[in-house]
Chains A and B, each alone.
Chain A
Amino acid sequence: MTHGHLWDRLLEAKSRLEPVQSKYRVLFEDPATPDEPAKVLVPDPNWMACALAGGILPPIDTYQRDRDVPDGEPKEHPYAEPIDAMSEEEAIEYLIMKDIDPSVWRDYKGNRTIMKIVPVELIPSDRSFRNAWRVVQ
């Protein structure tokens, strides 16, 4: 195995890559909790730098298989061979599949739009009514 452990690659990348603040956010509602306000996923700048550089992050399907691995059992994603560089748009799609529950992006069959990828400027900076945010239909 020449690619080492994911954590080691993240350490090396942290010392080499400049952080990249994404121009996107993911706005979504959880169908399991319809009364809760919309949630906002914020990509990590160091993670985004790794995604754009390539050769660091594992394939997304390893994370998906690891969802079913019990606590304390060996996981696949830290040891998987890293994937090539992604565009920022591809990285956001990867992050949705990694960090948002499949009930939002894969399994939802309702009529409402419950997820949108939006430019960061469209997320309100005034949080006065934060608990009333919804995804605009």
Chain B
Amino acid sequence: MSTITASNISDSTTTVGTSYVVNGSAKGWVNLTQDGTQAIQDSFNVSSITDIDVGRSTMTWTNSMSNSVYAASFAAWDITYYLTVSCGSSKATTGYLYACSRAGTTIKEDCDEVHLLAHGDLA
């Protein structure tokens, strides 16, 4: 693996520090299906997901976060219910528990696709 060491990146008009790029990058993301046999479609920095019950799963980071106040974005959709509300249930340095439910209800639902990504500080 080759390494380029630089303090700044420039396009000849604007210069930014490489720390802006590193700190602003997503530290992990995953695209998974909850319907049928659950599977991860693609990901980065994720070691596994765990199917807990209908609509609820956890994901675990390979490289943990430094603290649990990182920012996690979460979205899910389902072609049957179109608009599916989803929310995270609990967040830890090692991973994230999330749940999907139908819009306007507390009825949990397995979604066609779930997307999750996180920004913050790595351990």
Interface residues of A (CB under 8 A from B): 4-8, 10-12, 14, 19, 21, 36-37, 39-47, 50, 57, 66, 71-72, 74-75, 77-78, 95, 98-100, 120, 123-125, 127, 130-131
Please name 13 further chain A to chain B contacts, defined as beta carbons within 8 Å, in addition to the given A6-B63, A78-B64, sorted by A numbering: A10-B63, A39-B51, A39-B53, A42-B38, A42-B39, A44-B43, A46-B42, A47-B43, A71-B93, A72-B67, A75-B93, A99-B47, A99-B50
**Which of A19, A36, A47, A66 makes the CB contact (< 8 A) with B53?**
A36
Contact call B36/A125, Cβ cutoff below 8 A:
yes
Contact call B54/A72, Cβ cutoff below 8 A:
no
CA distance A108 to B48 in the complex (A): 22
Query: How many pairs of residues, A versus B, come closer than 8 Å at their CB atoms?
Result: 108
Which one of A41, A66, A77 has the highest number of Cβ atoms from chain B below 10 Å of its Cβ? A41
CA distance A66 to B64 in the complex (A): 9
Residue interface mask B77-92, A partner, CB < 8 A = 1? 0000000000000000
CA distance A36 to B58 in the complex (A): 15
Residue interface mask B20-58, A partner, CB < 8 A = 1? 000000010010000111111011111111111110000
The reply to whether the CB of B122 lies closer than 8 angstroms to some CB of chain A is yes
Contact call A99/B48, Cβ cutoff below 8 A:
yes
Contact call B54/A127, Cβ cutoff below 8 A:
yes
CA distance A45 to B43 in the complex (A): 8
A21 nearest CB across to chain B (Å): 7
Q: Contacts A6-B63, A19-B42 hold; do A120 and B37 have CB atoms under 8 A apart?
A: yes
A17 nearest CB across to chain B (Å): 12
Contact call B51/A40, Cβ cutoff below 8 A:
yes
The reply to whether the CB of B123 lies closer than 8 angstroms to some CB of chain A is yes
Contact call A77/B64, Cβ cutoff below 8 A:
yes
Chain B residues lying within 8 Å of A10, measured Cβ to Cβ, are 44-45, 62-63
Chain A residues lying within 8 Å of B43, measured Cβ to Cβ, are 44-47
Contact call B123/A75, Cβ cutoff below 8 A:
yes
Contact call B48/A74, Cβ cutoff below 8 A:
no
